[in-house]
Amino acid sequence: MFRTLLTIVLSIFVLTVHAKVIQVLPGHNTLQPAIDQLVNGDTLVLVDGTYTYDTSITIDVSATIRSISPGIRPRVIQSQNNVTFTLSGSATVAVFQGLDFSAANATANDPGCTLSFSALELRLIDNVVKCHVQVTGSGNSVIVGNSLVGNNGQVTVSTNGHHLVAGNLIRTGNNSFHASSGDVIYIIGNRFECNSFSNQSVNAKSCTMLRLSNGPKYVVANRFIHNVNGLLAFDANDTIRAITSSGSGIRNIQNNLFEFNGGDQFFSAAGIVQAINLTGATVNEIANNLVIYKGAMPLPGNGDAAVYAEGVGRATNNMVVDYAGTAMDSNGDILEFVYNLCSGVGNLGLCTPDKNNLSTAPLFAEEMDYTLASGSPALNGGDPGLHLSDLDGSRSDIGLHGGRIGFLQYDQQRNISDKPYIYPLFDEINLSNLNAVEVKAISIARFK
């Protein structure tokens, strides 16, 4: 696993001897004249304040645009409709860091602004973004530590290349993040949220948090959270999903938390409330995920399973807890469902005892990170295959914290800190020597 070289991390931003730092002051349409002064390797520094623009901004050189310091987040606001902030032309490396992008004319159904990036190497780090984000072209990207929130915005990565999407808060409406690429995308340690509140302006009764298509994807140690509160009228046409796929090549979905919180809302006829739906995908491994439903969650109207997957591979060491419908299902392809735990579900589906699956209560020590209590049947209850062992070499636990990938070490990277983001990527465990676990560490500065 993770053997593909991360060229997005290893590439080096080489500054020319003429590189300079240009400081720009807040105001109306002050950004484009300052950007026009940049040459390859320059840095544009924004001091505290508000920068508005009413014509499309274009950057066509390799440069860094950042806040003047970590404690300041300059506001970049689109003041007119139908204009964009675009990176294109000869720009080969671009860094955006510590900024706040939004639009003055945002509505409940449209964020009112678009950030369009087509550089060969993009770094989007520690920003607040309330716009559509589009990453296109043929390059690589690092999207780390951002808050991508509000107003039905969407993030779309539709480019060949290597992409690291890590440590972000992604709360952007009905279709949050679409990863459509013929190359490799690592989606690690993010917090995806879809909130259905009766007092909010965004209609999120139907929501897809992560949409995958075309090419290998590694979805590791993310939190997928759906909250319901208030008196919303859910019906059979409403669809709530955490992960969906519409193409082949899904590689690994591991150690993710899927938490559906019903709050005070009683559903009577919701169509789908589903964690994983992989249709037409070539799945390698779905392992050590936790799917848990709390509150008055519905019985799905059409019988969709909490975890549904097609293709060839394994679904092992997962938990589905308190789901009113079918726990796990497939279309009959060669996909094994083994050593899972399905508790409090309406129908076991393919989570059957003859495949070493359990149907007993998991016994959590606490319900924030869902660590296991002493005596839990999930402790050392997972697949005995040596390559699936816990990092201490013992038989894998079932659930979020078992296996060869730790949930918390990635999850904690979202905590505010002046230390770098560090994302360890684990190679496959050596079957002949369980003490040899190779780790590749990716480090990204929180402020450049």
For position 441, what pLDDT does the model report?
87
Model confidence over 375-389: pLDDT tens digits? 999 999 999 988 788
Nearest Cα neighbor of 154 from 170, 142, 166 is 170
Would you say residue 4 has pLDDT above 60? no
Q: Which amino acid is at 223?
A: R
Q: pLDDT (tens digit, 9 = 90+) per residue, 227-259?
A: 876 556 666 667 788 998 876 777 789 999 999
Q: Token pair for residue 77?
A: 């606001």
Q: What would the pLDDT profile of 164-192 be if each residue is shown by its tens digit?
A: 999 999 987 777 888 887 678 899 999 99
| Cα-to-chain-centroid distance, residue 185 | 10
**pLDDT surpasses 50 at 5:** no
pLDDT digits (tens, 9 = 90+) for 197-212: 655 444 456 788 998 8
pTM over 0.85: yes
Q: How many CB atoms lie within 10 A of CB 380?
A: 14
| 320 bridge partner residues | 291, 342
Of 163, 161, 133, 164, nearest in space to 148 by CA: 133
CATH class of 7-444: mainly beta
Residue pointed to by tokens 């060969």: 120
Give the span between the Cα atoms of 36 and 397, in whole angstroms. Answer: 56
Q: What is the mean pLDDT of the chain?
A: 83
Would you place residue 297 in the very low, low, confident or very high pLDDT band (cuts 50, 70, 90)? low
Residue 246 makes CB contacts below 8 A (sequence gap 6+) with: 211, 212, 213, 279, 280
Question: Rounded to an integer, what distance in angstroms lies between the CA atom of residue 171 and that of residue 151?
Answer: 9
SS3 sequence, 374-412? CCCCCCCCCCCCHHHCCCCCCCCCCCCCCCCCCHHHHHH
Domain chopping of the chain, boundaries: 7-444
User: Which tokens is 346 given?
Assistant: 């309406």
What end-to-end distance do the CA atoms of the chain give, in Å?
30
Helix (H, G, I), strand (E, B) or coil at 254: strand
- Distance, in Å, from the CA atom of 328 to the CA atom of 345, rounded to the nearest integer, reads 10
